[in-house]
Structure 1
C-alpha cells in the first residue's frame, strides 16, 4: 500500500476511534450533574410563611359574624377567595420543590439585604407580622353587629399590612421568577384592599390598630 494511502487509512481509523470513544464516554465515565433547585431558600421560606399567614386570614373571615353588614361580608368573601387561590399556588410550588408546607423556622428568610453581610432581621420569638393573637380571634368570634365589623376590619387591615411587608421583603431579595412576580402582585392587591377596608373602617367610626 502506498505511504499516502496508509496515512489516510490510519487517520480514518483514528477518527473512528475518537467517535466511538465520545459515544461511549457517558457509559464509561458518567458525568455528575447537580440539578438546580426548583426554589431557593427565600422562595421556600416566603411560600411557607405566606401560606400560614393567608390561612389565618381565612380563619378571620370564618369568624366574622354571619349577620354582619353586607358590604363588610362581601369584602370578607372576596378576600377569602383570593387567599384560597394564592394558598393553592404556593402549596403547589412547595410540592414541586419537595418542601414542607410549614416552616420549622418561620420568618428567618427575611434578611437585611442592604447590609454588607445578610442576616435575619426578624426576632425568632416574635409572632408573624400582622397576625392576630388567640384572644383577638376569640373576640372576633363572639363580636356581633357593628362591633364585629369594626374588629374584623381592624384585624384584617393590620394583617394585610404585615403581609405587604413580607411580600416587599421577598421582592427585594429575589432577582426574578414566579415567586417574585406573585410577591409584587400581593403588594399591589393587598395595598388596594387595605385602602378599601380603611375607608369602610372610617365610615363605621373605627380606628386603625397599632402595628
Structure 2
C-alpha cells in the first residue's frame, strides 16, 4: 500500500464531506433546465435517494463491525473512511427526501423500481454484472439482501463472528461486492435522475467507490485472497 493511494482516497473523502453541507440545500432549488423543485414519489431522484440510503447503511454497519474485529491499521482506516463518507451521503439523501416532502420508506414499492421502470437510459455495460430481464434488474431479494451487492444476513453473521485476518478478508470481499452494486446504482442515477445536485453526488460516488475497489483489491492480494466476483 502506497502513501499516494491513501492520499487519493482521503482527498475524495474530504471533498465529499466538504460539499455535503451545501448539497442538501442546493437539491431543493430549481435549476436552469426548469426541472421541478420537488421530484415525484416514483421518480428516479426519489427512488435513488431511498434505495441508496439503505445500501449505504449496510456499508456503515459492516465497517463498524470490522473496526472491532481487527487491529490492522490499513483495513480499519479504510473502514473508517467508508463509514464516514457513506454516513454523510446517507444524511444528505435523507435530507433531500425531507425537503421534498417524500417518505423515506414506501410500502409496496419494490427496491430498484426506479431503475427497472422501462429499461430506458440503461445499457448492459453500465450495470456492472446486473442482468436485465424484461426491464427488471437481475437481483432477487433474499436473506436480507435487498439490492445488488448487499450482504445477506448470513454473511453479516459470519462477519460478526470473524476475527483478525479472516475478518479483514471477508469484509474486503463483501465490501467489494457492495461497492460494485453501489456503482451500478449510482450510474443509474447519473443517467436517470433530474436533480443536478443529486446527479453530481452520484457521479462522485462512482469515482470514489471505483477508487476504493482498486484499493480493496490490493489489500486482498496482500492477504493472499481476491474478490469473490470478477
TM range, smaller chain: 0.7 to 0.9
Regions of 4+ moved over 4 Å? none
Q: After TM superposition, give the deviation of residue 176 of structure 1 in Å.
A: 5.2
Structure 1 unaligned residues grouped into runs of 5+: 1-34
SS in structure 1 of the partner of residue 105 of structure 2? coil
Q: CA deviation at 1:65?
A: 5.3
Secondary structure at 1:64 match in 2: helix
Q: Tell me how far apart the structure 2 counterparts of residues 100 and 207 of structure 1 sit (CA, whole Å).
A: 39
1:196 and 1:173 map into 2 onto residues whose CA distance is 29
Q: Which residue of 1 aligns with 2:182?
A: 163
Query: Which residue in the other structure is 1:53 paired with?
Result: 55
Gap regions ≥5 residues in structure 2? 1-34, 123-133
Match of 1:9 in 2: none
**Structure 1 residue 105: Cα displacement:** 2.1
Q: Determine whether 1:102 maps to 2:105.
A: yes
CA distance in 2, matches of 1:47, 1:176: 11
Distance in 1 of aligned mates of 2:88 and 2:169 = 26
Selected match of 1:73 from 53, 73, 76: 76
Structure 2 residue aligned with 1:87? 90
Give the drift of 1:114. 4.7
Could you tell me how far 1:110 is from its partner in structure 2? 0.3
Distance 1:196 1:125, change over 3 A: closer
Counterpart contact for 1:157–1:194, Cα < 8 Å: yes
CA positional deviation for 1:124: 7.8
Tell me the C-alpha RMSD between the 2 structures. 2.1
Deviation readout 1:54-88 (Å, 9 max, x if unpaired): 00001101211523311100100011010111011
TM-score (norm 2): 0.70
Instruction: Give distance in 1, aligned partners of 2:195 and 2:98.
Output: 20
Aligned length: 174
